Amino acid sequence: VATSAYQVEGAASEDGRGPSIWDHFCAQSGTIADQTNGNTACDHYHRWSEDLDLLADLGVDAYRFSTSWSRVRPQGDGEWNSKGLDFYERLVDGLLARGIQPYLTLNHWDLPQSLQLRGGWANRDTMQWFVEYALGIHARLGNRVASITTHNEPWVIAHLGNETGVFAPGIQHRATAMQVSHHLLVSHGLALQALRAEGCTARLGIVLNLSPVHPATREPADVEKARIEDGRLLRWYLDPLFNASYPQDILEFLGTDVPKMLPTDLQTVATPMDFLGVNYYSRQVISAGEPWDVHRSGRYVTDMGWEVYPEGLTELLVRLKNDYRVPPMYVTENGGAFRDTCVNGRIHDVLRADYITRHIDAVAEAIAQGVRMEGYMIWSLLDNFEWASGYDKRFGIVHVDYPSQKRTPKDSALWFRDFLVQQKALQQAAPPSRPRAEHGA
Ligand code: IFM
């Protein structure tokens, strides 16, 4: 299961943490649906031990979390904050003590605000500050974590943060967004090289948000628009990571908004990875005319308005295997926001359990079709701060009553716990004949 720092930790101005772009963004009026912020969130900064016990009760063997850059280095560069580093050390040691592997993400969107004031990810210098941050985390935790992800969902940071501006830092400028995407990709490669030079033993990779992109009809206008969307969402990230090039059709589409780059940048982006993380929620259906009505396919839709389309996950994973030389992959996020019903203290989230079951089956189908999968993680352990949607949208398999901070495992969590027990028993009875993928790309 997975979480991220800003969405769960709270303690926004405690123990020396500096402000991030999300603190700043939430303080602007009209940015967050319910006018909330991550100041308290799930108070995980104080309740981490209780939350790790929840993980142990669930029986999961891996926990994906992120470190907050502004908690460990409040200005982004300059002084380090030992209290922030101590927190993550307690967390990692607490996971290991419970037999749970730590999967650490360095950048789950919460750039220090003082770096944004210097241009944020559009400033080439931010890449070097990111490498320093990666090395600082590695020095304290690197030999104890199973994996390190550089960036979570660079498309979201670039596109939603800097092109449409619906996420922090709230910029609406396509050329800036494309420069941001380029610097995120290059800084990923630079961080991998620097971590390896330090002898890092954790598996290294990146996490992308990916969806199959389908045209609404076979009309040429829909097909063409879907191709561009596919290029911007998938190929813009996958082509440089695996082929050291940007897709030609998207370079042409962008015209003067193509990012500035140095001749060696794309080779840096293509530094080999140990794994690729895939976050999957739904497919995209693209229409050149009226927007596609998500209810049209007759499937159920989550509280985010996202169509439940599990076969899209199989389609996506098989495409990644066929089109790119991908390393072993993880589904690093998958799950749904639903309106949960509470009866006599039990939370009956039937749709969430159904969603998760169908997507686990979709991963199994991809494995049957020859895809190397190393893991599957539910988004999310806890109900938490869902960015611009605030606290209204609940993704957790564990319910959080925000006023009391009481945690209650939902039916989906109880189902998942039983499922894991069953899977472990089956594995012990008959070890899989499929050889485990080797470490390394
Ligand atoms: O909550 C987010 C997460 O931070 C990144 N991936 C998508 C999730 C659901 O919107």
Instruction: For residue range 83-96, list pLDDT tens digits in order.
Output: 999 999 999 999 99
At 438, the pLDDT band (50, 70, 90 cuts) reads: very low
Note the Cα 136 to chain centre separation in Å. 21
Note the Cα 98 to chain centre separation in Å. 24
Weakest mean pLDDT among 61-65, 161-165, 427-431: 427-431
Cβ–ligand 1 contact at 333 (below 6 Å): yes
Task: Render pLDDT for 162-220 as a digit per residue (tens, 0 to 9).
Answer: 999 999 999 999 999 999 999 999 999 999 999 999 999 999 999 999 999 999 999 99
Cα(379) to centroid of ligand 1, in Å?
7
Specify the ligand 1 atom closest to the Cα of 7: 4
What integer best gives the mean pLDDT of the chain? 97
**DSSP bridge pairs for 215:** 286
Cβ–ligand 1 contact at 302 (below 6 Å): no
Task: Render pLDDT for 236-278 as a digit per residue (tens, 0 to 9).
Answer: 999 999 999 999 999 999 999 999 999 999 999 999 999 999 9
CA distance 245 to 237: 9
Cα(96) to centroid of ligand 1, in Å?
25
Task: Yes or no: say if 383 and 320 are a contact pair by the CB < 8 Å rule.
Answer: no
pLDDT at 434: 54
Task: Render pLDDT for 33-57 as a digit per residue (tens, 0 to 9).
Answer: 999 999 999 999 999 999 999 999 9
pLDDT at 435: 45
Rounded (10°) CA dihedral 246, 247, 250, 252:
90
- pTM of the entire predicted model: 0.97
CA distance 96 to 218: 52
Specify the ligand 1 atom closest to the Cα of 389: 10
CA distance 38 to 158: 21
pLDDT score of 432 more than 80: no
Cα(156) to centroid of ligand 1, in Å?
10
pLDDT at 430: 84
Cβ–ligand 1 contact at 383 (below 6 Å): no
Cα(136) to centroid of ligand 1, in Å?
26
In sequence order, the 6+-apart residues with CB closer than 8 A to the CB of 370 are 321
Note the Cα 252 to chain centre separation in Å. 29
Cβ–ligand 1 contact at 66 (below 6 Å): no
Supply 380's token pair: 């999310």
Query: Read out DSSP for 67-81?
Result: --HHHHSTTSSS---
Cα(386) to centroid of ligand 1, in Å?
7
Cα(194) to centroid of ligand 1, in Å?
28
Mutate to test the pocket of ligand 1, among 386, 393, 397 (most ligand atoms within 8 A of CB): 386
At 436, the pLDDT band (50, 70, 90 cuts) reads: very low
Supply 178's token pair: 């494309």
CA distance 429 to 441: 30
Catalytic residues: 153, 333
Cα(426) to centroid of ligand 1, in Å?
32
pLDDT score of 291 more than 90: yes
In sequence order, the 6+-apart residues with CB closer than 8 A to the CB of 29 are 35
Cβ–ligand 1 contact at 147 (below 6 Å): no
Average pLDDT over residues 66-71: 99
pLDDT score of 433 more than 70: no
For the chain, give the percent of residues with pLDDT over 70: 98
Nearest residue to 278 (alpha-carbon basis) of 359, 167, 357, 346: 359
Specify the ligand 1 atom closest to the Cα of 379: 8
Mutate to test the pocket of ligand 1, among 1, 379, 380 (most ligand atoms within 8 A of CB): 379
For the chain, give the percent of residues with pLDDT over 90: 96
pLDDT score of 440 more than 60: no
Atom 1 (ligand 1) nearest CA: 386
CA distance 408 to 167: 29
Cβ–ligand 1 contact at 22 (below 6 Å): no
Task: Yes or no: say if 334 and 356 are a contact pair by the CB < 8 Å rule.
Answer: yes
Rounded (10°) CA dihedral 240, 127, 333, 100:
120
Nearest residue to 92 (alpha-carbon basis) of 140, 162, 41: 140
Average pLDDT over residues 101-121: 99
Cβ–ligand 1 contact at 386 (below 6 Å): yes
Cβ–ligand 1 contact at 4 (below 6 Å): yes
Atom 2 (ligand 1) nearest CA: 386
Cα(307) to centroid of ligand 1, in Å?
16
Cβ–ligand 1 contact at 412 (below 6 Å): no
Task: Yes or no: say if 60 and 1 are a contact pair by the CB < 8 Å rule.
Answer: yes
Cβ–ligand 1 contact at 176 (below 6 Å): no
Task: Yes or no: say if 133 and 72 are a contact pair by the CB < 8 Å rule.
Answer: yes
Phi, psi angles (nearest 5°) of residue 414? -65, -40
Cβ–ligand 1 contact at 379 (below 6 Å): yes
Mutate to test the pocket of ligand 1, among 210, 331, 387 (most ligand atoms within 8 A of CB): 387
pLDDT at 439: 37
